[in-house]
Each structure stands twice: as C-alpha cells, then as structure tokens.
C-alpha cells in the first residue's frame, strides 16, 4: 500500500483521527490547519511538525502535498471545505454530521459525484465493537425482519453550546450517532418524520442548540419505525448513548450506563447456553492496543481501516455520501417538524 499523506483541518476533534493516522503504518500526518494559531502551534509540536506544515489558510493546505483531508471543523464549514478539497483532488474524511442545512447537503452531493476521489462521513458509532457485532447477527437473521429501533443520545455539553457554534445546532440536527447504526442494521433509509421539543428552559437566552430535549419518530422505506431522543443540555451523567432493535424473531438492547456495560438479547431460536445477557463494549479485541487512541475505543481505528481500504481498492466507502446523507438529512427535517408543532414531513433522499 502507498503511504498516504494526511492533512487535518480543525485541531480539536480532528486530532483524535490524527493520532490514529499518525500511528498507522500506511499513513503519515504531514499538515495541520486551524484558524487558532495557538492551538495550531501546540498541535504542531504534538505531531512533530515544522512550521511549514502548519496552515492558518485552508486553501494553502489544499495546495500542499496531501492525499487525504480530515475535516474536524464545526459543522457549518463541512460543505465548503469538502467541496474545495474534492475539487483539489483530495480524499475527504468528514466529521459528523455532513452539514447543517439542506442546500449545503445538496452542494456536497454534487461535489462528491463530480470527483474521482473518496468521501466518507466519519460516523464512529457504526464502528463501535458491539454495533458491528450486532450488525453481523442482524444480517444473519437472528432477530428476523427488523420493524422497530430506538436510540437515546443524551450528552450534556452545556459549556460547548453556550455562545459557540453549537448554539445554533438543534439537538436533532446531531442525529447520526443514533440513525447511523440503526440504518446500517436495517439496511434502510428514512422517508417521513415528526418530532417534538422546541423549548429551552435551561438557559436564559433560548437558541436551537439549547432546546432542552427533542424526540423524533421516523418511518423508513421498508416500513420500520425509529425513535430518537436527543439532548445536549439535559443533566444526566454519564452521558446516555443507548440502542435497541426489535424484529420478527427477537430483539437486542444495549446498556444504559455508558458505551460499555451489560446489554440484553432475545433470539427466538435462542440456545439457553448462550445466555441473554451480552457484553457491550466499544473495544474490538482483535485490534492492536494502539487502536484505542481515537477517543471512543477502537471505533476510529476500524473506521480509518475501512476508509483506507476504499481508497486502496477504489471501492465505495462504507459510509459514502449516500449513507452520510441518510444519517444527516432526517435530523434537519425532524427539527423542522418540531418547530412546526409536530407535523409529519416527507424526508427527501437527495442522493436519488
């Protein structure tokens, strides 16, 4: 495999992937870009990069010798930065979610369609170990035909919402951690939705980002129902990121006490020796020890492995622009449904 040169823009979350890329034998981190010169300098030192590898101007980084661009910037920048990178012939790994409005989603789809390089949305939850294991069991028919799933993602980050870019991000806009795994399990996409939750009692100045909590109901093309509960301000510690899925032959439920813990399964053709309790862990026991450097167990490592494989084999990335939009657009429409008092709205599949 060729050694790929990686450039990262946004040295906050972006460096989580950077750490994994810098330890990977087939990639090297050669450039960083950030508007914040102090953060840029500090991260440059951490990655052992000289000043000429550090860029405050994104276009300058795109003009340098990088093959892959990792977008770790706030969501409102993802669309234009994706478009510029793809026009410059770079592969793009873009943090979640893809964009915060429908027009930007459409612009991204057009840019990816025109480009010969790869785009992948970095939805790390799809790569948590138990999520990937459930995927194999569901695809093997263990729960039969899925007809219902739910995901609760309640993560209090008030200090990151108040006065920052997240002040404008409605809870349901950040729905890919919830919809990503469920749509992968169901091999499906959303066609309709409704939602509730449009008030902020937790802050003096109400913004979309500090709406207390939102809950959405989604209907899929195959006729399944999905419920998503989302909040960035509700006080609950540790954060809740839980999933359950029901099918014609059984069900799977994750832990409600963090990303690790004890979950539950019921399979109709269940062997009592297998037990109903299951271990929930985001760590893949087969990944190397250094693989846990990305911040969420081994999920970022396995995601990067898939992304690199798609580049190397010239195949469709596991979370390509179609799947990336499938887990982004429904949240935008669901928030609109909540604002309009809980109407049902059609969800366009802009990649069709």
Ligand X SMILES: NC(=O)c1ccc[n+]([C@@H]2O[C@H](COP(=O)([O-])OP(=O)(O)OC[C@H]3O[C@@H](n4cnc5c(N)ncnc54)[C@H](O)[C@@H]3O)[C@@H](O)[C@H]2O)c1
Q: Which residues bind ligand X (CB under 6 A)?
A: 9-13, 33-36, 39, 58, 72-75, 77, 95-96, 124, 165, 296
User: What minimum distance in Å lies between the beta carbon of 328 and ligand X?
Assistant: 11
Q: Give min distance, CB of 97 to ligand X, in A.
A: 7
Residue nearest to ligand X (CB): 12
> In whole angstroms, what is the distance from residue 242 CA to residue 255 CA?
6
Q: Compute the distance between CA of residue 147 and CA of residue 88 in angstroms, rounded to an integer.
A: 43
| Residue nearer to ligand X on the CB measure, 253 or 300 | 300
Distance CA(341)–CA(351), nearest Å, equals 28
Largest Cα–Cα separation, the chain? 62
Nearer to ligand X, 180 or 250 (CB): 180
Q: Which is nearer to ligand X, 78 or 142 (CB)?
A: 78
Measure the CA–CA gap between 44 and 36, rounded to whole angstroms.
12
Mapped onto helix, strand or coil, the DSSP state of residue 134 is helix
Shortest gap between Cβ of 173 and ligand X (angstroms)? 10
Question: Measured between alpha carbons, how far is 138 from 132 in angstroms, rounded to an integer?
Answer: 10
The token pair at 266 is 């019921």
- CB nearer to ligand X: pick between 165 and 270: 165
Cα 276 from Cα 246, distance rounded (Å): 15
Tell me how far, at minimum, the Cβ of 64 lies from ligand X, in Å. Answer: 15
Give min distance, CB of 94 to ligand X, in A: 8
CB closer to ligand X, 172 vs 251: 172
Helix axes 129-139, 176-186, angle to 10 degrees: 30
């Amino acid at each position: 495999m060729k050694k790929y040169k990686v450039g990262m823009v946004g040295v906050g979350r972006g460096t989580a992937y950077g750490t994994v890329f810098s330890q990977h034998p087939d990639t090297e981190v050669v450039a960083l870009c950030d508007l914040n010169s102090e953060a840029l300098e500090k991260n440059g030192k951490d990655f052992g990069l000289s000043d000429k590898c550090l860029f405050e101007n994104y276009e300058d980084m795109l003009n340098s010798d990088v093959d892959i661009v990792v977008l770790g910037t706030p969501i409102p920048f993802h669309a234009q930065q994706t478009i510029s990178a793809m026009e410059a012939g770079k592969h793009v790994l873009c943090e979640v979610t893809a964009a915060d409005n429908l027009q930007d989603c459409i612009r991204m789809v057009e840019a990816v369609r025109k480009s010969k390089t790869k785009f992948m949305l970095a939805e790390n939850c799809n790569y948590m170990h138990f999520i990937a294991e459930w995927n194999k069991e569901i695809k093997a028919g263990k729960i039969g035909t899925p007809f219902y799933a739910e995901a609760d993602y309640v993560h209090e980050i008030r200090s990151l919402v108040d006065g920052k870019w997240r002040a404008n991000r409605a809870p349901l806009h950040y729905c890919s951690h919830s919809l990503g795994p469920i749509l992968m399990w169901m091999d499906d996409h959303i066609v309709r939705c409704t939602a509730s939750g449009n008030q902020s009692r937790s802050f003096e100045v109400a913004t979309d980002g500090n709406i207390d909590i939102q809950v959405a109901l989604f209907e899929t093309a195959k006729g399944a129902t999905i419920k998503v509960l989302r909040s960035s301000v509700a006080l609950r510690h540790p954060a809740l990121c839980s999933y359950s899925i029901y099918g014609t032959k059984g069900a799977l439920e994750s832990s409600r006490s963090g990303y690790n813990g004890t979950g539950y399964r019921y399979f109709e053709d269940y062997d009592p020796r297998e037990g109903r309790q299951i271990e929930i862990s985001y760590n893949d026991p087969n990944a190397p020890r250094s693989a846990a450097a990305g911040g969420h167990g081994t999920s970022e490592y396995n995601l990067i492995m898939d992304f690199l494989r798609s580049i190397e084999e010239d195949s469709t990335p596991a979370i390509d622009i179609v799947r990336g939009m499938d887990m982004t657009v429904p949240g935008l429409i669901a928030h609109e449904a909540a604002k309009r008092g809980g109407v049902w709205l059609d969800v366009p599949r802009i990649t069709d």
